[in-house]
Structure 1
Amino acid sequence: MKRRRGILIGIGATIGVVALFVVLAFLPPIQKWIVTRALAGQPDLVVEFDAIAVRPSSITIEALDVQQGAVRFRAPVVKADLPVWKLLGKTVQLERLVATDWTVHYEPMSEMAETAPVSPRVATASLIPMLFAQAAPTGQSEVGLAQIREWMTLPVALSIGHVDLRGSASWRNAGPGADGQAQVAISGGNLGVGRPGQFAVDVSAAGDAAGASVIRSLDVHAQIELVMQSAHSIGHASIKSTLTGRRANVDQVDQFELSLVVDDDVGGPALNFVLSDQVQRLVDVSLAADLEADLLAGNWRVQLNTTSLQSLMLGTPLPQFDVGGGGTWSADWTLSDAEIEGELAYAVSELDSLMPPLASIGELKGDAKFAGQRKGGDLRVTVLDVTVDGAAPVAHLRLLQGVELGMETFEVRVASPENPVFDLEFLGLPASWTQPWLEPWVLDAHPIRGHLTGLVTPHGVRVVTSEPLRIDGLMVAGEGRTYLDEVDVAIGVGAEVTNEGWQIELDRVEIGDATGMYAALSARGGHLTRDSDVMKLVGSFEADLAALHRLPILEGQALLQAGRLRGEFGLGLEDRVSLAATLGITGLVMVDGEPLPDVQLDGRVDLLGDGAIEAHLPIRITQGERVSDLTLNMRAQPENDGWRADGSLSGPRAYVADLQILGAPFAISENQDDSPTSPPVTSPVPDGTSGQPVWSGVTGIFKTAIGQLILPNGMTLEDVRGDLTVTPDRVEMTGLSADVTSGGSFGLDGQIAFSPDGADAYAAGARIKAQGVEMAPLLRIFQPDTAPVFEGKLNATADITSVVATLDQLADHAAVSAQVTSAGGVLRALGVQVEQYIQTGKTVAAIGGLLAMATGNSRAADYATKVQAVTAVAEQLSVLAFDQLNLEVTRAAAGDVTLSDLSVISPGFRLLGSGRINYQPETPVWLQPLAVSLQLSAREKMATDLTTLRLLRAEPDALGYLPLVQSVKLDGTLAKIGTAEIERLLTRALQRP
């Protein structure tokens, strides 16, 4: 009895505990705790609510807040009427679902506040951002009809009585359409086995935006019909939608009809999609099961134009176009394997709506035929034929054999690898299409023609020109000049892409005209996948330099009758940009037949990762047996707002006459600038008036060390050294020195300082010292065909100063103070034009002496003696050998040169004098007018001869020299000293009785 009582007590206790749990389960705090715990493991999902009430026939949630990623849903109250206990049997019998005043907000990458958000700002309305919001995450598997069938198979038995969902949606930063908001209403129901469910979806979006082409409002009305095939599956689904958009300031209404029908009946799944505007069907796609072929097959057709697509894209500006066509397609049940074929015809114009420079293309039209298959990870194209026509045929692309692409392995497979895969023929590509990209330059040419052929190699795909691309009759002009005219260009190109990288080749680019070739270039460059940061380019080039005068820009400026330029180069792009080049200029002959030296350059320039530039440029110049070897080294480093440039110029030997070839490009440039058609050129270099020196932004040290520098006259300067230092406010030349092989040395120290204060921004100063320098070789530079006016070793010290506004005024405004001395030499400055006496004087004197003895005529003997004296004086004056020379030279800033304290002394004569050189602008100093006054005194033989001519005074000076009866003046120029006054003095002495 006790045992039975105990069992009854246990059963009662168990029922009590169960009852207690049932009671607790319907308490809101317990229900909220259970739901919160159940959702705690959902990734990227945050669900919050104030309260949840679960009753046997309903569920009510208050203040529901759901956030996942960029989407947030909020609803004040969500109420669902359904038998809760049936959920345990996987049956959802939803009798009524009501939620009003809910909001959905989409904002990518936003920090959504925990508090209620402010109302979204009104802007352009668009459904495109909503479509973006629903885009599948990266990596999601592809959806096919089999997947749609899976979706239409429900995990629970479902029936829906009535649904009433009304709220609003908003979005920000969601792509096209920018920001927007919409009112959304979803209603309907009556879904169950044996009865079709009808649902209506209404969306009304509105916003403000500038421009008449942008949608301001968009209304969507969709009618959805679902038919349950069984309690666990949907056999039929259809969506019929009307989309109505209105644009600002446009009365036209943009309206589209969209229909999507999916059936999964006994015959297998079928899909039909139709998009229409108010005129025609734009897109029509159908796909249905072919049970005999065990696949899905259907048709597709498109008919689009600017009006329809522009409306569909919410007013986005588009070019004028019309494209239409159709075909068939088929696929397996998963849509992973598919085939498509068809034809399209197109016409497009007003491409400047996409990009203004495309306006030059005008109208394009053509057609395309294609057929292809996708099988697993492979894509096979069996037909591809595309034509492009403008005002005339432009291009034609043809696939010559089927090609299969391994999308995962990047393999390319064809049945006949030895045969071409495709052919691209340029029938007449207008060169004018490039004109807008070249402005302000002007380019014109005949249409471009040529053939490109595609091949499959064991490693990838190769494209080559089976016929070179030809650009004939090319004309290039700009800035009022014609640079090229009637030039023909032929281009052979190739490119190859493999799994290991790519390579592009310029097999040969040849530029010429009807007369012959100007230049040719060959190059190839590529990139290996394993070297992710490395690209390399190598090539060679050649040019006929003598042909350059045929270019319009050099017309009438023929400089050469022969000459070739050849070179090779290599360019590497990695952690630095490296350019290595070998350049040779050979066979240069001037138009007058004079040969020029050959030039060989083999150097390297590197652009480092920090922006620095390093250059190593060895140069060899060869003229017969003469060889000049120089090397330029430089490193330029970005620094603050400018550059720090350090470098050197060094070499064992250099011939100055041969180095002049390096200045040829500058000579050409000067000739061009002197052309009357040349536009005025404004130099970008500061001139000091802007508050910055011409070297602004550049600092550094440049060193020079040349073993031998051979001047054009044969004089050799040895051990030429000097440092050029550039600082923000000055340029200094220090330690410039050289030894002269004929004896002597010279040195120079100087600087140019800049100050932005005052009108004269530049102050220059220099000291030049020369010791024991043989002058004859230097003077032969100015007078190569005559005996030098001075021979001997010269010592000189010169101080030079100049204060100017711009550097080009330095020489004209330089003040010079110099002292010149010599310990001996020959002076040829006083040669007189009395050739008749010098050439015949001795003969006349001899004949005169004979006549005097034969006739006893003393006057004939006297005349003969005078002639002999004049002849002797003329010979002595023409070559004055001296023991000492002193001279002070002063040049004023205005340009005039003063010669003072001139003294030339020898045992037989002494010259004392002074004078000036009158400045003339833009005239070399040795060609400016000369005026010198000389006092000549003589002893010994010259004194005897001048005494015979009665040209000396009777009283000697303190040193025993007898002065000339009058001072004499020299005129002319330093290049040709005038001695007419001495000649007149001698002539009068000869004629005096």
Structure 2
Amino acid sequence: MKIVRVVLIVVGAVVVLLAGAVAIAFTSGFQTWAARKALAGQSGVVTSLDRVDAGWQKTVVSGITVRTAGAMVTVPRVELDVPLLPAASRRVEIKKLVAQGWTVDLTPGGTAVDATTAAQATSAQAAAVFRGVLSELQLPVALTIGTVDLEGVVVLPAAAGQAPLRMQVKLTGGDLGPGRPGTFTLDAAATLAADAPVHSLKAHSVITAAMDTASTFSHLAVTTELDANGPQLAAPAHLVVLTTADRDGGGETYATNIASGGRTLLKVHADFPAQATKLTGTWEIAMGDADVAPYTLGLPLPQFRVEGGGEFSTEASFATVAASGKLDVATDKLANVRPDLGVLGALKITADFDVRHEGGATVRVNRLTAAVAGAKPVLHVQALQPFAFNPQTAELKIADPAKELLELTIDGVPLAWARPFLSEMNISGSDVQGQFFLSPRTGGLSLRARTPLAVKGVTVAVAGQALVRDLDVALSPSFDFTAQGWQAGSGDLSVRSGGALLFALNARAGRLAGGHDPLKATGEWSASLPALLTQPLFAGKLALKQGEATGNFAASVDGRQEVQAKIALTKLAADPAPSAPPLPNVTLELRASVDPDHTVTFTVPIAVERQGRKSDLNLAGTLSHSAHQPVIDARVTSDYVWLDDLQPLAAPLASGGDRAPGEPAGRDASPIWAGVSGKISLALKKVVYGTDYELTNITGTVTLDAGAAKLDAFQARLGADSDVRANGAVTFDTQAARPYALKADVQVANFDPGPLFKALKPGQPATVEGIFNATSTLRADGENIGNLINRARGDVTLTSKGGKFRALSADLSDKIQKSSSTVAAIGGLIGAVTGKSQPAEYANKSQVAADIAKALSDIAYDQMTVDLTRDDALNFKVKDFSLISPEVRLTGTGEIRHAENVPILKSAMALSFQLGARGKLGEKMKHVSLLAATTDALGYTTCNIPLKIGGTLENPDASSWQNALLKAALEKSGLFNELLGK
């Protein structure tokens, strides 16, 4: 016992110190100092004492405290009657040892033991050769004990929710010496809570010891009787534990017997003959939870019954340990130990075995049959022939190399058994079934599946929300072990649903022997995206009707970990119709390494290919840790990006989640960059939209911290002469209803929107051409990032010093030309009927109207200014529109109305203009009476026909203006008057 050992250490230290201190100073102060110094060097033990008073015949030590891992001993006073002179000659005569009021606290806590020292001690003990229990008890001194009187309290941990248990302990006895057997009595008693199943527990032990010499023992015996009483016990429980060790003629025998109510619960007998090199013995057990529950101090137990018996043996060096026998175990209500183990239900385990661990590494199986069953068989294993295997050398010894060694049959492991290991995840499905054989292989062992490991109808859910449903999984794992190393494989793992293959994997992992080479793993996988996207986890995430995903990976794990992976998305289609535009092929590669300090260095090239064109993006950098937070330092680069090729991916790759159409995404509880800080730099050489619109030399830096993502010094070139510059930040406020907030300033210089409009409507003239400067101040708030972008608001000012304005459609001149021909034809008909010739000016006025329409359909302006704002309703308000050309002036206001999920260029537009004209155009408009009498300050005469433009920016609609102009041209021609006879 550690307590006795500590007391002996204290006694020994005091004895030695007194013998040396007589010639120096026989004082208590010196003795106390010397004792403290001697005890200070004990590894794993912290000891303190208040005072030492040592005399020639008696020593008193006061205020002793000893702390070890999980225990603390306090002893107010120890009186030890030991003559010092005999002790100096290695004869310790303990005439009396008295300690009262001490406490041994075994509740959690205490001082940690030096793990290195403990490991070294364990290793040293394992390396020692066993010489017998009594032989190991040989003392370094000649010992006699007169009387011992120790009384105190032991504090034990109790069941959860109960106070620690205090047990009164008393040890008395003595009269031990050579040829004089000593007897000691140990009594312990504890009272538990009145409502506990057991409220009274008593132990009475009689310890007898016989010494054949002053330092060696020939007999030890401990007989312990345990008595328990309680309201839930049908009768008082009585348990007797008898343990003996005897030495006779140099040999030793050991026995332990536990009995209750006349039944033997456990019986162990072992012999270690003189000059023997092996300890052999037998064991028998027939024990249940009812036999031990009264003595567990209220700790919950499962129901169990264990029966069996057999033999065991070990060499004196413990190099070889063997065990054989039969064992039957029945258990239930494992939830008493851990609540989630209740899913295992009632179990029965049987085993018939003869196994041996020999030579430090070799495992020999002479006989092995084992089975586990619940309501029905679960699994069983059987050795098909005896064999011995050394995993260090891969040496295999068998009788028949052509015969398999071991059969493992999984009859049906319930998936519910995995629940205790899956936290909040719930898994259901059929039982897992499969069969495996362990076979000899040249230079080692091989495990192969005779039938695949299979489970059907697998459904996995978290918090009641299904992730996957009704999956059939089949796996043929393998394992090979040779002297060169080991390798494990997944076989052809397949996941199916309704007969359709969702996912397939073939992976391998292995390591060469010796421990110097890294663990390596490789694999290939494939997935059918349409079938995979029917699963709840992915439902609504991708709008794909066709597509395949394939990939491979390779990993090396050592002091430095390296991973390479490739993902390819091919044959993608959001619409399987032949006329549907093809989606790009996407390839992503990952190369990453993890240093011993956990710094990750990575490169992620992404390629998008469509119709012979290739876009590329590359993300490279490092991911380190600072104050337990990931810190990223990365750079995004690209040589060429075709937005036309990426744009088709936007719709099918848009996240739909489980929301109904048009329903916004939920509020983010944390920012998308949560837990990551650092910076990401941009360096994109060229981004192309359509055939003419290019954004080049894109640079900038995104900085991430706990509360914001900041964009600094963003700039790019639009075409040859245009510059874009921007700065801004997105912040996150956890208390706000819309936690994301954006503030940004954007400036665009020398921007020509012509290529953009041409890209939107290939083959048609751009609605607006010219060189523009734009300044804007943006702000936004949102529940999530997507919502934040859609809710961007602010003011924008556009100015231009020259260009083309084609919002008034050019096809009106053709309509009026046709109307002019119609006028002439009708006039000729009227002349033939009435005999009157029609004036030529009727047709001339129609031609003038056509000339006006043509001139207004393509206005070469000298100056254009547009002031607009996006309001809180997300509508674009045109606060002021002004266009000035030599012959035309346009001013007006209007709005572009917001609609959910509709881009701005396709949003409904309503603009109202006031047209003024002068010069030749003004003269023509006067000729057909389209101008009023008033003239503005710049000399432009106001048009008396309202000019309104609807439609969208992509397809402006000026039909109201066109119809008004056409009507005016026909009315002014006089033809209507002739038809009416006026």
- On whether the aligned pair clears a TM of 0.5, the verdict is yes
Query: Is 1:683 matched up with 2:683?
Result: no
| Cα distance per residue 1:699-749 (max 9 Å; x no partner) | 544333333211146533333344445576672342412142xx6423122
Instruction: Give the corresponding residue for 1:388.
Output: 372
Instruction: Give the corresponding residue for 1:112.
Output: none
C-alpha distance in 1 between matches for 2:165 and 2:440: 46
Instruction: Give the corresponding residue for 1:367.
Output: 350
Question: Which amino acid in structure 2 is aligned with residue 937 of structure 1?
Answer: A
Question: Which amino acid in structure 2 is aligned with residue 933 of structure 1?
Answer: F
C-alpha distance in 2 between matches for 1:333 and 1:965: 119
Query: Is 1:257 matched up with 2:240?
Result: yes
2:780/2:793 contact within 8 Å kept: yes
| Cα distance per residue 1:385-420 (max 9 Å; x no partner) | 110000110000112222335599786544445543
Deviation at 1:541, TM superposition (A): 1.5
Equivalences for residues 70-469 of structure 1 within 5 A: 76-78=79-81, 98-102=95-99, 119-120=102-103, 139-140=124-125, 147=132, 164-168=147-151, 182-187=169-174, 192=179, 199-206=182-189, 212=196, 217-222=201-206, 224=208, 237=219, 239=221, 241-246=223-228, 253-260=236-243, 271-287=254-270, 299-311=282-294, 316-328=299-311, 340-373=323-356, 377=360, 380-404=364-388, 413-416=397-400, 419-438=403-422, 440-455=424-439, 457=441, 461-469=445-453
Counterpart of 1:672 in 2: which secondary structure? coil
Q: Please, which of 871, 884, 892 is the counterpart of residue 862 of structure 2?
A: 884
Query: Is 1:652 matched up with 2:639?
Result: yes
| Cα distance per residue 1:742-777 (max 9 Å; x no partner) | x6423122323769899999572423224152x343
Counterpart of 1:139 in 2: which secondary structure? helix
C-alpha distance in 1 between matches for 2:842 and 2:650: 60
1:709/1:717 contact within 8 Å kept: yes
Deviation at 1:938, TM superposition (A): 5.1
Counterpart of 2:764 in 1: which secondary structure? coil
Deviation at 1:150, TM superposition (A): 5.4
C-alpha distance in 2 between matches for 1:569 and 1:546: 23
Most deviating of 629-638 and 916-925: 916-925
Compute the TM-score of the two structures, normalised by the length of structure 2. 0.77
1:721/1:738 contact within 8 Å kept: no
Instruction: Give the corresponding residue for 2:797.
Output: 818
Query: Is 1:50 matched up with 2:54?
Result: yes
2:107/2:157 contact within 8 Å kept: no
Aligned in 2, Cα 1:846/1:350: closer, same or farther, shift over 3 Å? Answer: same
Query: Is 1:769 matched up with 2:748?
Result: yes
Instruction: Give the corresponding residue for 1:710.
Output: 688
Aligned in 2, Cα 1:245/1:591: closer, same or farther, shift over 3 Å? Answer: farther
1:51/1:61 contact within 8 Å kept: yes
Deviation at 1:885, TM superposition (A): 4.1
Instruction: Give the corresponding residue for 1:14.
Output: none
2:529/2:544 contact within 8 Å kept: yes
Question: Which amino acid in structure 1 is aligned with residue 324 of structure 2?
Answer: E
Instruction: Give the corresponding residue for 1:745.
Output: 722
Instruction: Give the corresponding residue for 1:8.
Output: none
Instruction: Give the corresponding residue for 1:507.
Output: 491
Aligned in 2, Cα 1:661/1:169: closer, same or farther, shift over 3 Å? Answer: farther
Question: Which amino acid in structure 2 is aligned with residue 596 of structure 1?
Answer: L
C-alpha distance in 2 between matches for 1:956 and 1:333: 122
Query: Is 1:779 matched up with 2:757?
Result: yes
Aligned in 2, Cα 1:976/1:456: closer, same or farther, shift over 3 Å? Answer: same
Instruction: Give the corresponding residue for 2:914.
Output: 934
| Cα distance per residue 1:101-156 (max 9 Å; x no partner) | 257xxxxxxxxxxxxxx83267789xxxxxxxx99965347999973685799999
Question: Which amino acid in structure 2 is aligned with residue 635 of structure 1?
Answer: T
C-alpha distance in 2 between matches for 1:333 and 1:914: 106
Instruction: Give the corresponding residue for 1:604.
Output: 591
Q: How many residues align?
A: 902
Instruction: Give the corresponding residue for 1:672.
Output: 658
2:871/2:877 contact within 8 Å kept: no
Most deviating of 621-630 and 63-72: 63-72
C-alpha distance in 2 between matches for 1:652 and 1:151: 79
Aligned in 2, Cα 1:262/1:732: closer, same or farther, shift over 3 Å? Answer: closer
1:124/1:206 contact within 8 Å kept: no
C-alpha distance in 1 between matches for 2:732 and 2:311: 82
Deviation at 1:586, TM superposition (A): 1.7
Deviation at 1:845, TM superposition (A): 2.4
Aligned in 2, Cα 1:403/1:139: closer, same or farther, shift over 3 Å? Answer: farther
Identity %: 21
Instruction: Give the corresponding residue for 1:732.
Output: 711
1:500/1:528 contact within 8 Å kept: yes
Aligned in 2, Cα 1:76/1:268: closer, same or farther, shift over 3 Å? Answer: closer
Aligned in 2, Cα 1:890/1:320: closer, same or farther, shift over 3 Å? Answer: same
Aligned in 2, Cα 1:399/1:893: closer, same or farther, shift over 3 Å? Answer: same
2:387/2:405 contact within 8 Å kept: yes
Query: Is 1:800 matched up with 2:777?
Result: yes
Aligned in 2, Cα 1:554/1:265: closer, same or farther, shift over 3 Å? Answer: closer
Question: Which amino acid in structure 2 is aligned with residue 550 of structure 1?
Answer: T
Query: Is 1:537 matched up with 2:521?
Result: yes
1:968/1:981 contact within 8 Å kept: yes
Question: Which amino acid in structure 2 is aligned with residue 599 of structure 1?
Answer: V
| Cα distance per residue 1:604-652 (max 9 Å; x no partner) | 2344444544331111111122111221223344446865543322222
C-alpha distance in 1 between matches for 2:945 and 2:892: 15
C-alpha distance in 2 between matches for 1:819 and 1:231: 110
Most deviating of 791-800 and 326-335: 326-335
Counterpart of 2:970 in 1: which secondary structure? helix
Gap regions ≥5 residues in structure 2: 1-17, 27-34, 109-117, 978-982
C-alpha distance in 1 between matches for 2:317 and 2:375: 46
Question: Which amino acid in structure 2 is aligned with residue 519 of structure 1?
Answer: F
Deviation at 1:664, TM superposition (A): 6.1
2:539/2:658 contact within 8 Å kept: no
Most deviating of 800-809 and 62-71: 62-71
Question: Which amino acid in structure 2 is aligned with residue 317 of structure 1?
Answer: P
Instruction: Give the corresponding residue for 2:6.
Output: none
C-alpha distance in 2 between matches for 1:542 and 1:755: 39
Deviation at 1:382, TM superposition (A): 0.5
Q: Please, which of 609, 618, 634 is the counterpart of residue 622 of structure 1?
A: 609
Instruction: Give the corresponding residue for 2:458.
Output: 474
C-alpha distance in 2 between matches for 1:758 and 1:558: 31
C-alpha distance in 2 between matches for 1:285 and 1:121: 31
Question: Which amino acid in structure 2 is aligned with residue 147 of structure 1?
Answer: G
Question: Which amino acid in structure 1 is aligned with residue 868 of structure 2?
Answer: T
Instruction: Give the corresponding residue for 2:14.
Output: none
C-alpha distance in 2 between matches for 1:643 and 1:916: 49
Deviation at 1:423, TM superposition (A): 1.9
C-alpha distance in 2 between matches for 1:891 and 1:68: 79
| Cα distance per residue 1:143-179 (max 9 Å; x no partner) | 9997368579999999x9x954333477789999998
C-alpha distance in 2 between matches for 1:432 and 1:695: 37
